A and B are shown apart, each in its own frame.
Chain A
């Protein structure tokens, strides 16, 4: 397949320029002995015309994710302790058959999953709800002779549609007791595995002078072994923390400058208004 493709392309093309996430994982082999922190993120640049995403031919659009594929096994990164990766790259559209224990290195201590996506098709195929069973298998079906080193699991959600899929109540943080079963699933799994679990949900993004974009995130500590109550559950007051102190810092920085609320891309818009309470 690669030979056929490279023959049909220009001379400067390399067979590694296809199936790109897998190629990326293979490229990491050269730094497998030293790499301790890996952060991967992606986004689609719609350009000046955001409608272009809708106008593109579906095969081409779907083909972008398919061409990128999945990253595959990262177990060769023997010293990796912190990994931040979009769920789409880890699972693509195969959330059911993917076993994280076959992909992630045993040295991993902190895993952060993101909800970056390229198009709506990806959004439906790889939601956090679909990923939770894979997390359950990863955390609870451990090999007793090769236990996990993981002590923290973070889920960072930026897209509005995902918030409810993992159980975030639209009433906001005050409605935390109304979290749906998915949230409780996550807590149950992490409690059993004694892994700290933190959920970050984006409320808004602020575009600062100098074009730096800062996400205002609500932080929900789903489970924390260090502040668990006597029954192994979480104390209610320790469950939710909102990062409003960060917001106040941003406001201080922005004072005196021209600044605007962002982002421009409608896919990031949320219904919620930011409050200082």
Chain B
């Protein structure tokens, strides 16, 4: 083991980066010296399903939150978070997404929530009541808020839908560079469900380099803001957003290199709104004489 530490740090890192997670965990527990080297790597990438059948009783979100509550410095190592909701589209609309919170953890969750800035006390009370019953959207939001150095976030649309707290928290993660809001409702098309995702906070992250997100019902004021001078790659799944919103967003990204734009022509909404004021959106403008 001593010989291992004669290696330069860069080479040692190269070696242990190749270790699978269980081996990395074992290596980390070998001695204090290995722990110092391996611990940042062990916590660098987090990836799990929030609501997995495998963890009905012990959800990984609780175990991880307990760890970082006891050792907050570990949270600083987390650079990448991949969270899949674990919901299938068929049960997403009907299932109320809650989990039981272990008794010893409940005060920790509520303390962490109390430290978040909320616009109103009413919202604070609302989210508190949700956290008490184990609302997975709120718990995920609290967890993300405790990871201030995270640079990459991949999260399902259905999870975002669970709670408004997530949008508030994501908007506060200023170190985020790479964000993917994964459309897990349908393979290519949103709109099989009557979702109204208006996730606008991601468009205000100052260090954003890569963004792939759903873009539903967006209007120009929601995406207006200062320049996103680092944004290089943008992917939008557009459902019923205003074209002026796209124009405003692109004007904020002067260094954009790659744009992927998928437009969902939502016929169902089109038919529903046929006799409402929104009908004009779908009518062909009269041609000038």
CB–CB A210/B258 < 8 A:
no
20 residue pairs A–B, Cβ–Cβ below 8 Å: A1-B286, A18-B285, A23-B247, A26-B247, A30-B247, A34-B254, A34-B255, A34-B256, A37-B258, A40-B262, A44-B267, A45-B266, A46-B268, A47-B267, A64-B265, A64-B282, A211-B187, A213-B187, A262-B187, A263-B187
Q: Contact residues of B with A, CB < 8 Å?
A: 84, 89, 183-192, 219-220, 239, 242-244, 246-247, 250-251, 253-268, 270-271, 274, 277, 280-288
Q: Please name all residues of chain A whose beta carbon is closer than 8 Å to the beta carbon of B256 when the two chains form the complex.
A: 31, 34-35
Q: Please name all residues of chain A whose beta carbon is closer than 8 Å to the beta carbon of B270 when the two chains form the complex.
A: 56, 60, 64
> What are the 3 tightest A-B residue pairs by CB atom distance, in nearest-first order?
A213-B187, A47-B268, A27-B247
The answer to the question of A246 belonging to the interface, with a C-beta cut-off of 8 Å to chain B, is no
The answer to the question of A232 belonging to the interface, with a C-beta cut-off of 8 Å to chain B, is no
Q: Please name all residues of chain A whose beta carbon is closer than 8 Å to the beta carbon of B253 when the two chains form the complex.
A: 30-31
Contact residues on A (Cβ < 8 Å of other chain), bracket: 35 or more
Known contacts A34-B254, A38-B259, A60-B274; A211/B282 CB under 8 A: no
Chain B min CB distance to A221 (Å)? 25
CB–CB A14/B185 < 8 A:
no
Chain B min CB distance to A157 (Å)? 16
* A213 and B247 alpha carbons, distance in the complex (Å): 29
Q: Please name all residues of chain A whose beta carbon is closer than 8 Å to the beta carbon of B247 when the two chains form the complex.
A: 16, 23, 26-27, 30
Chain B min CB distance to A65 (Å)? 9
* A43 and B239 alpha carbons, distance in the complex (Å): 10
* A95 and B267 alpha carbons, distance in the complex (Å): 25
CB–CB A5/B280 < 8 A:
yes
Q: Which residue of B lies closest to A79 (CB)?
A: B257
Q: Please name all residues of chain B whose beta carbon is closer than 8 Å to the beta carbon of A43 when the two chains form the complex.
A: 188-189, 262-265
Chain B min CB distance to A9 (Å)? 5
Name B259's contact: one of A23, A33, A35 (CB within 8 Å).
Answer: A35
CB–CB B268/A31 < 8 A:
no
